[in-house]
């Protein structure tokens, strides 16, 4: 029988979200671990560790163990997962919840099995895995059980999962290493080239989330940022405008659209026709980039819309798979076989 405290977990490359049955999103923290360089002793995990990025003294490093999609640093990723799960479910004497976990695409079978062991050690009785695009689609409200082609594009920090689904199966997919991080990098590079201004990754991300748009804006936005002038070597305050930022992200944006285009090209004609009817659904934190759905629609001539609370789709989809076992239970697996 389903326990009241079953959980759905999105172990993303930059954020970990946990959905708790009957409660909604119970945890949403950066997938960051801060550790001592030499001893590798862990100093902080999650929000506290994220604050240290770019600000750590020489002997401490703040890193994202899953930064490159697959298990960049498996041991650290395990420790982090254990910490978040234990924090969410607390110490339980009698009941052990069940969990559905969505791992970054590209994780191998051995890693999947050890993640399930980690979950057990953190207090979870039984963990089942759910493929990321299916979790995202369920969480976005896509009717995954229909014999109808639908396309989900889940844009994370390190990578994007692009998939065409029909009857709950991934028919065509790709997972390019293009996500929010690539947009941040493009912004930092642009300011270095154009203004000789060196900015940190968090400033680049702020510029992206606040004034950058994937379509030209009707009204110009501005943001003041402080960086280091590469010529004088001194800190410098600059006012950046949104037109520049639109220009700055041209390359990763084009590549992302190209990747979606390529998946559509490889989609069987009938299903592709369904996608043209239905439109493309965007999820993941990266889907919040202003104007992104319009840029994709304009380039590919396919309707495109962002799911509600896009960043929460994967965690919610995992939770819903547990709650609605009769509808979605068949997509769960135990880490042995991929769907």
Ligand X SMILES: Nc1ncnc2c1ncn2[C@@H]1O[C@H](COP(=O)(O)OP(=O)(O)O)[C@@H](O)[C@H]1O
227 contacts Mg ion (rule: CB under 5 A): no
Minimum Å gap between C-beta 286 and ligand X is 4
Residue 30: CB minimum distance to ligand X, A: 9
Dihedral angle over CA of 316, 74, 86, 128, nearest 10: 50
306 binds ligand X (CB under 6 A): no
Stretch that binds ligand X, among 32-40, 151-159, 162-170, 271-279 (CB under 6 A): 151-159
Q: Do residues 138 and 46 touch, judged by C-beta distance below 8 A?
A: no
CA-to-CA distance for 159 and 152, rounded, in angstroms? Answer: 14
Q: How far is residue 239's CA from residue 222's CA, in Å, rounded to a whole number?
A: 6
Among 6, 8, 15, 88, interactor with ligand X by CB under 6 A: 15
Q: For the chain, how many residues are written?
A: 339
Asked if 284 touches Mg ion (CB under 5 A), the answer is yes
CA distance 273 to 263: 13
Asked if residues 120 and 29 have their Cβ atoms less than 8 Å apart, the reply is: no
14 binds, among Mg ion, ligand X, none (CB under 5 to 8 A by kind): ligand X
Could you say whether residue 79 binds ligand X (CB under 6 A)?
no
- From the list ligand X, Mg ion, none, pick the one residue 335 interacts with, judged by a Cβ distance below 5 to 8 Å according to partner type: none
- Residue placing its CB nearer to ligand X in the complex, 271 or 281: 281
Q: Look at residues 17, 22, 21, 267 and name the one whose alpha carbon lies nearest to residue 150.
A: 267
Count the site residues for ligand X by CB under 6 A: 19
Q: What span, in angstroms and rounded, lies between the C-alpha atoms of 179 and 93?
A: 41
Contact range with Mg ion by CB under 5 A, out of 8-16, 111-119, 240-248, 325-333: 8-16
Chain residues binding ligand X by CB under 6 A are 12-15, 156-158, 179-181, 205, 208-209, 284-286, 288-289, 311
């Amino acid at each position: 029988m389903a326990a009241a405290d079953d959980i759905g977990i999105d172990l993303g490359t930059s954020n970990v979200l946990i959905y708790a049955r009957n409660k909604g999103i119970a945890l949403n923290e950066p997938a960051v671990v801060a550790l001592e360089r030499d001893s590798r002793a862990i100093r902080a995990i999650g929000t506290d560790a994220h604050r240290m990025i770019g600000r750590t003294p020489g002997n401490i490093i703040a890193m994202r163990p899953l930064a490159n999609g697959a298990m960049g640093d498996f041991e650290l990723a395990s420790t982090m997962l254990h910490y978040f799960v234990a924090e969410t479910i607390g110490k339980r004497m009698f009941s052990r919840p069940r969990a559905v976990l969505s791992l970054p695409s590209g994780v191998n079978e051995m890693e999947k099995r050890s993640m399930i062991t980690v979950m057990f050690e953190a207090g979870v009785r039984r963990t089942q895995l759910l493929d990321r695009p299916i979790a995202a689609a369920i969480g976005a409200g896509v009717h995954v059980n229909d014999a109808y082609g639908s396309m989900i594009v889940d844009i994370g920090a390190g990578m994007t999962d692009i998939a065409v689904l029909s009857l709950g199966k991934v028919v065509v997919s790709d997972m390019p290493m293009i996500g929010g991080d690539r947009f941040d990098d493009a912004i930092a590079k642009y300011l270095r080239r154009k203004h000789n201004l060196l900015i940190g990754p968090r400033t680049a991300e702020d510029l992206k989330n606040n004034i950058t748009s994937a379509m030209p804006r009707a009204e110009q936005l501005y943001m003041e940022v402080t960086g280091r002038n590469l010529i004088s070597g001194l800190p410098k305050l600059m006012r950046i405008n949104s037109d520049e930022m639109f220009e700055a992200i041209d390359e990763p944006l084009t590549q992302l659209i190209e990747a979606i285009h390529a998946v559509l090209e490889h989609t069987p004609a009938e299903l592709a026709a369904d996608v043209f009817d239905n439109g493309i659904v965007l999820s993941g934190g990266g889907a919040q980039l202003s104007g992104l759905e319009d840029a994709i629609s304009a380039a590919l001539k396919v309707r495109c819309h962002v799911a509600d609370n896009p960043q929460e789709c994967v965690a919610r989809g995992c939770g819903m798979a547990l709650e609605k076992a009769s509808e979605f239970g068949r997509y769960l697996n135990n880490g042995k076989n991929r769907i």
